[in-house]
């Protein structure tokens, strides 16, 4: 797509693209992605992302589909991305006695997320 042409031409990729709570696994979100039309022969951005880390909390009510690797395998098959990693974590956020495993605070405070970000910063 022309929107990505400058990034593709530069050779500079997003080194780590991290999704928390599996927003791109939700069927409604996938259908409404700008380039998400299944009828197109190629619906994925090409060679602008190096590694994708997807993190899903157990019992996260939004993360119905916690695996992005299978949904976006075309990006791997076509060499558009180097890796897609799916990681399940426990998110123990509680506010006023109610659990909310989708809360961003606990995703960001989780050791795995922190370590991936720290590795990326290095």
Cα 97–98–102 angle (5° rounding)? 140
Global model pTM greater than 0.85: no
pLDDT tens figures, 33-83: 655 444 555 567 777 889 999 999 988 877 778 889 988 888 898 888 999
H-helix or E-strand containing 31?
helix 27-32
């Amino acid at each position: 797509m022309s929107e990505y042409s400058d990034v593709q031409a530069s050779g500079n990729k997003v080194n780590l693209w991290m999704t928390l709570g599996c927003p791109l696994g939700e069927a409604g979100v996938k259908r409404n992605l700008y380039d998400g039309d299944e009828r197109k022969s190629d619906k994925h951005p090409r060679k602008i992302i190096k590694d994708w880390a997807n993190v899903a909390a157990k019992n996260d009510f939004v993360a119905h589909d916690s695996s992005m690797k299978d949904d976006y395998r075309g990006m791997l098959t076509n060499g558009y991305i180097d890796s897609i990693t799916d990681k399940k974590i426990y998110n123990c956020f509680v506010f006023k006695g109610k659990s909310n495993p989708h809360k961003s605070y606990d995703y960001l405070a989780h050791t795995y997320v922190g370590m991936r970000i720290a590795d990326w910063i290095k």
